[in-house]
Amino acid sequence: MKNIIKILAVLMVLVFTLSIVGCSAEGNDKANSGGQEENVQNDANANQAEGDAQDSEDASAESETMKKIRETKKIIWGTNAEFPPFEMREGDQVIGIDAEIAAKIAEKLGVELVVEDMEFDALITALQSGKIDFIAAGFTIEPDREKQVLFTDTYFKAVQAIMVQEGNEEIKSADDLEGKKIGVQNGTTGDFIASDIPGAEVIRFNNGIEAALDLNNGKIDAVIIDNLPAQMLAKSNPGLVVLDEKPFDAEEYAIAVRKGDTDLQQVINEVLKEMKDSGEIDELANKYSIGE
Ligand code: GLN
């Protein structure tokens, strides 16, 4: 009997030990595969100074977009490069605040940045169809857009501004816009606001520069456009001024990714946090707004 108990005890110890070894082996497997995946990302991140790669705890959750970015070693930024100081052309380069953010996103992922410059109102469709991987375009978070794209954290506060010809005695506030010819960029928040003004005739342009030209020529009465671009346009069009009064809702810019691309959203949020915390975004606003 004693022997049987002894044998049983030995067996139990054996089973117990085996199960522990089994568990830890499994644990090691997991840790290893996790490590390997991190290495793949780190390979891509070869130039990255800090080793804060995304945790690969749940590798199966990688989005198709992230997989494609890793495999092609490219990320495609969609924008409308006619929106200084956020994006504008300099030779064949696109520069500006969003351009620097986009470059940081690519750097963080250890991949090349490809720019797709298109009409502003084509951006959402381009994102949804997979032509681009993210939108950075002074893009305001807006309920209707939230239904179509996934926004990141915000990185810039904005408000729509009214531009008129210098010395205009008729339009001194938003109330004076009723029944007027208002120029806007097609599909922007300025367009939405102008469309709600009673009796206003909304003239839609592909970009603010064209709208400012027609305002200068007296073909339209006012332009509604984001505050910072308005200031830039007024600087390069001496005949135009921006009204001090900005009665419209506060807006916030964010970057947009495809619905479901939460892993890319998370990487972009990290980049934005770093750039906001270090004061870099504010510095960029100064850098690109001055001297134009
Ligand atoms: N902030 C505005 C919007 O999101 C305008 C952006 C732009 O013209 N690039 O509609």
- Residues 236 and 163 grouped into a single domain: yes
- Residues 165 and 279 grouped into a single domain: no
Q: What is the pLDDT of residue 66?
A: 97
Residue 265: pLDDT band (50, 70, 90) is very high
Contact residues for 231 (Cβ-Cβ < 8 A; gap 6+)? 161, 242, 289
Whether 25 is in a domain gets the answer no
Whether 5 is in a domain gets the answer no
Give backbone dihedrals phi and psi of 217, rounded to 5 degrees, phi first. -80, -5
What residues does 112 pair with on adjacent strands?
A: 74
**Which one has a higher pLDDT value, 45 or 267?**
267
Q: What is the pLDDT of residue 60?
A: 58
> Domain span at residue 261?
64-157+252-288
- Residues 127 and 152 grouped into a single domain: yes
Most confident stretch, 41-45, 51-55, 226-230: 226-230
Joined tokens for residue 125: 């469709």
- Residues 178 and 152 grouped into a single domain: no
- Residues 234 and 149 grouped into a single domain: no
Kindly state the helix (H) or strand (E) to which residue 217 belongs, with its residue range: none
Q: Determine the atom of ligand 1 nearest the C-alpha atom of 251.
A: 1
- Residues 182 and 138 grouped into a single domain: no
Pick the closest to residue 188 from 132, 135, 237, 240 (CA basis).
135
Q: What is the pLDDT of residue 186?
A: 96
- Reply yes or no on whether the pLDDT at 233 is more than 70: yes
- How many CB atoms within 10 Å of residue 217? 10
Q: Whose CA is nearest to atom 5 of ligand 1?
A: 188
- Residues 150 and 205 grouped into a single domain: no
Q: What is the pLDDT of residue 175?
A: 95
Instruction: Evaluate: CB of 139 within 6 angstroms of ligand 1.
Output: yes
Going from the Cα of 109 to the center of ligand 1, the distance in angstroms, rounded, reads 26
CA 46 to CA 35: how far, in whole Å? Answer: 15
Can you give the three-state secondary structure of the chain, one letter per residue?
A: CHHHHHHHHHHHHHHHHHHHHHHHHHHHHHHHHHHHHHHHHHHHCCCCCCCCCCCCCCHHHCCHHHHHHHHHCEEEEEECCEECCCEEEECCEEECHHHHHHHHHHHHHCCEEEEEECCHHHHHHHHHCCCCCEECCCCECCHHHHCCCEEEEEEEEECEEEEEECCCCCCCCHHHHCCCEEEEECCCHHHHHHHCCCCCEEEEECCHHHHHHHHHCCCCCEEEEEHHHHHHHHHHCCCEEECCCCCCCCEEEEEEECCCCHHHHHHHHHHHHHHHHCCHHHHHHHHHHCCC
What confidence tens digit (pLDDT) does each residue in 16-27 have?
444 444 444 333
Whether 42 is in a domain gets the answer no
Whether 130 is in a domain gets the answer yes
- Residues 78 and 95 grouped into a single domain: yes
What's the average model confidence in pLDDT over 178-200? 97
**By percentage, how much of the chain surpasses pLDDT 90?**
77
- Residues 195 and 77 grouped into a single domain: no
* Count: domains in the chain: 2
Peptide bond into 85 cis (omega under 30): yes
Least confident of 53-62, 79-88, 265-274: 53-62
Whether 153 is in a domain gets the answer yes
- Residues 185 and 119 grouped into a single domain: no
- Residues 131 and 193 grouped into a single domain: no
Whether 187 is in a domain gets the answer yes
Q: What is the pLDDT of residue 58?
A: 54
Whether 106 is in a domain gets the answer yes
Going from the Cα of 7 to the center of ligand 1, the distance in angstroms, rounded, reads 78
Q: Determine the atom of ligand 1 nearest the C-alpha atom of 158.
A: 1
Whether 10 is in a domain gets the answer no
- Reply yes or no on whether the pLDDT at 145 is more than 80: yes
DSSP label at 73? T
- Reply yes or no on whether the pLDDT at 4 is more than 70: no
Q: What is the pLDDT of residue 106?
A: 98
What's the average model confidence in pLDDT over 74-83? 97
Q: What is the pLDDT of residue 164?
A: 98
Average pLDDT, the chain: 85
Residue 277: pLDDT band (50, 70, 90) is very high
Q: Determine the atom of ligand 1 nearest the C-alpha atom of 80.
A: 9
Q: What is the pLDDT of residue 289?
A: 84
Among 188, 204, 232, which residue has the most ligand 1 atoms within 8 Å of its CB, making it the best to mutate? 188
State the CATH number of the domain containing residue 192. Answer: 3.40.190.10
Instruction: Evaluate: CB of 185 within 6 angstroms of ligand 1.
Output: yes
- Residues 143 and 262 grouped into a single domain: yes
What's the average model confidence in pLDDT over 189-218? 97
- Reply yes or no on whether the pLDDT at 239 is more than 50: yes
Q: Are strands 251-257 and 240-242 parallel, antiparallel or unpaired?
A: unpaired
